[in-house]
Amino acid sequence: MDIERYRSLAEAYGADMSRWPQDQRDPALALHAREPEAAGRILAEAAFLDEALDAWRPPTVSHALRERVLAGAPRPRAALGGRSLGGRFGLWLSGAGLAAACAAGIVVGMAGSSAAISDVRADEMLAAAASEDASTALAPFTVSDRLTLRREA
């Protein structure tokens, strides 16, 4: 390597030789050992620009950006399984609730056809029917309940 090649490398990549092409580093070091003054001046010039460039500080990552990025990140597979299980379970519950609501409608229709059932009792039944817990939703509509409702009517 001659001094001109050394200069062109410093002008392109700067004073830090670890940025220089790998296969040029040893020849550059050898030249530096042979011509320390000239090589030193070249590196000093390049170092000034490196230092100036480093004064341009990188932007900081805002909390909001970090949160937006994390919001889209993949979820653990176990969590995905749990979520889909929850989804299926939730769907089943929704189905049960819907069935219970239908049952409530039928019972109310049967028992309340005489328009004597109280609004309060009907509200209680519908609230229970809408519950996600199918057992509690369906519990009020036993045969004895229907009889009770008929008696109230």
Partner 1 sequence: MAGGSRQGAGEDPDQDLVARVGRGEPAAVQALVARKLPRMLALARRMLGDAGEAEDVAQEVFVRAWKQAPKWTPGAGKFDTWMHRVALNLCYDRLRRRREQPMAEPPEQVDPSTGAEQGLQDADVSKRVEAAVAALPERQREAVVLCHYQDLTNIEAAALMGVSVEALESLLSRGRRALRAALTDMAPARS
Q: Which amino acid is at 138?
A: L
Q: Specify whether the CB–CB gap between 123 and 138 falls below 8 A.
A: no
Alpha helix segments (H runs only) across the chain: 3-13, 22-34, 36-54, 63-71, 77-111, 119-130, 134-138, 143-152
Binding to partner 1 by residue 2, rule CB under 8 A?
Answer: no
Residues 32-61 that bind partner 1 (CB under 8 A): 45-46, 48-53, 55-61
Which CB atom, from 84 or from 113, has the smaller least distance to partner 1? 84
R_g over Cα of the chain: 40
Binding to partner 1 by residue 151, rule CB under 8 A?
Answer: no
Among 15-23, 92-100, 118-126, 134-142, the segment contacting partner 1 (CB under 8 A): 15-23
Which spans of this chain sit near partner 1 (rule: CB under 8 A)? Answer: 8, 11-14, 18-25, 45-46, 48-53, 55-62, 65-66, 68-70, 72-77, 79-80
